[in-house]
Structure 1
């Protein structure tokens, strides 16, 4: 709790007191050298609340205070507004913006809340107490007693604010009110101009952000394609080196002398490590781009545990100083998930446990926490991981070195890949570890991989503008019938020319674009759209697409729907759902 020092208090009994509150707030903010915009925000918030007190409670008090932090620096300008009125009804709806009043009640209160850094309100039939705070960054030395005295005297001499002094004559009050109203009018006009300029800037900023987002997405896709293509290209020469070195080690073309054998063994080991790195890079790039296909198969948990036992046994031969144990589940259950990817995750977790346990024990335990999930706990007594490095071990190419572990080889891709694969299997990996006390990795995953995942929320297209650009009446009718149960606003255009005005006047949320239009081709219309619209376009065509045209259309649209596809209706609804969810999440 910050300590506060009172500057001034103002009693609100008449409308002119509202003006006094605003003037005092403005002068105090200016005295503290707040920016012009912050002065306007603070004064506007105070004015709205003071007017609420006058209109709805009849009378009340406004207190202005300075707040100190722990080292007695000035850290905030605060106010307290209190009255003994009937309280404010519908306060929760007013503050969250959902309350609609024909008189406009609540708009000022909501606006005042948004203008302050902190805002707290307590209201009941006994009255209302509101506390607002405008933070001062960075904190500065607290004003001296002499400075505080000077601002108090200035406020009083200006006719503002001693709650115990009678206001001057009625005529002077009227003049003061008129002057403040004129000042507010000028401020409003200036603010309107600033808002207009700001709105233009915000529109331009959103445009730049959308463009930057699209560029980042394309860069990410390019990176993934690069990794995928390069790893595929690198695999061939690596395989040649690896296989020929194995032939030489087996003496297929004659025995090697000891020195040659040693040299070829080095080559073979290096090729094997490089091959492992390439495979992990390929898997990671496919996981990032979403190209990994999950193939669920049915198998028994006990069979999989036995596979883990054989793998751990092979590792145990290479790590004779490490004891190991694989503990199965208490009961037999059937799993239906991607066995290959599940083993890939466990291979990384168990391999790391052996690798980072110079001497000790590795235990893998199996749990069935509920009827839908299964868990594997991989526990070791190795070097452990410091808490500050728990998140870092899941970053690509990052290896956390522990004392005496500089000789441990690895790529830094195993754990990041394991976590991504766990997510694809409807699961997650958690870590519990301390330096010097070993590590415990817990993999939790769904026993049955469900292609559809969790039950999606009902599709609701209320308020969503959908533009259908297609000269075929039957195709437009089909799309309309598919979407109408979800209550969108459907707009139709039978040609590219008739769609242009709608594109710019309405800026639809979703655009279905046919490529065979009677006047301008769909490809040319798409090319003429600004890039921010491309993410809203669902190409709706019966044309076969391939080669450079297909690649260009994929870059310039959200998705391509084929009218002749047997699952056409499902694809339409799935793409509309995803596009709508992304747009609502963005807002």
Structure 2
């Protein structure tokens, strides 16, 4: 509101002045053509406040005014009530409805406040001033001076109010108000019925949504199980090809001639690439279901940098036009985290940098920002990524393509998996990149993640009896070749039935038990063993196991080994060494 223009003033000195004040309020509201209900509300608010002025202050005045907005239009009808009484105690409690008076004091004031659109009160021991207004919407043309003079003259010539006539008017207004309330009640009942019907529809909709959500969840879990089972089924033969080709390349069964070495290298490289793809698919599946296990080990930063240097050196052979650089820190530090997962993250970041850099340079730098964390920066001078695509590159199966990148192969899994793994290592990956100006991926993780699993050193299995219960000849061969340099006594069984005699006759020191045997399930065979033998069993399986299965098996055996795990050979040697040392210490 911009300003207010005074219409009339009513002085309250006698009780009849309260009636006059109400009648004046009603006439002004009617003159402004407010609705009949709004006229009654305005007049009732004025009447209640005028009665308060007379009752508690003895005398006072009511000033009626018209409110004008900034454009000169009529926007409200208001009044200002003033008195020089003792003021109103507990005014805040009265206005918020929390005040309780045995005489009913404050009820009229609170009611008047609720009947008006704008209400302001100032009270003290020197008196009280109340300003209130009822808005007129939409605003209308402001009355001309001649019209204002007409209403003023009408109010002055009406004379003293007749209380009996006023009572009749009040009775009529009460009937009108009751009729209005009855209409509102009918409308409220209709609205409640509509809301009830709507609520029934909402409940039915929520039920359908819940059912649909359950179906989607079940479908997602079925997809994840199928996905995990299929990738495991694919991984098993790939791992056999990969591991046996590595044994051939190491010359375990004699040196290869140059041509054979070249051929086996091709086999090994192809198996490694295929294994990497399957591993990413399985890791994504495990990350979605929360089954990725972090295995912290201790290693030095210098050793890890050397591992990265060897990887980049081999990778750079496929990108002869690119320069590359790896810079470590000035001091070597010890890390205690999952080395395999850390290398997996860096392999994905570095591989992306090479793939998306047609020419120029790829740099890998290491920083120690504080004593608790470590940072790896992978920077390239490649095609870059537009800001609007920064979040997209971390979405699974999504690749940001451009005409210059059509020949670049990939699944779109590397960066999403890298970020998930970084989170598991208590870290994160941040990206800074502009289109055409290269990219900078910064990996930050904790230096120390958890307990340490030491790599097996100085392993001696002389005189140790090891029973391999597995129907896969390739898997038995792989374990035999892994353990042969440490001179154990290897005993093999291809079925559960053929292993029973060996279990009782030899009482092996270590037992590798496959869960998928052709005659009896591995778990059933495990349960049939005596408890003293359970502590010697290493469950050796390619089956995907959920948390419940791992917990159940963990109570009945020494450890569970996953044949398809990338660190499977290292885990075999570690578990064998730990079990052997514990048995020797016991004796």
Name the TM tier (shorter chain): 0.3 to 0.5
TM-score when normalising by structure 2: 0.47
TM-score, reference length from structure 1: 0.47
Asked which structure has the greater RCO (Cα within 8 Å, sep 6+), the reply is 2
Highest CA radius of gyration, 1 or 2? 2
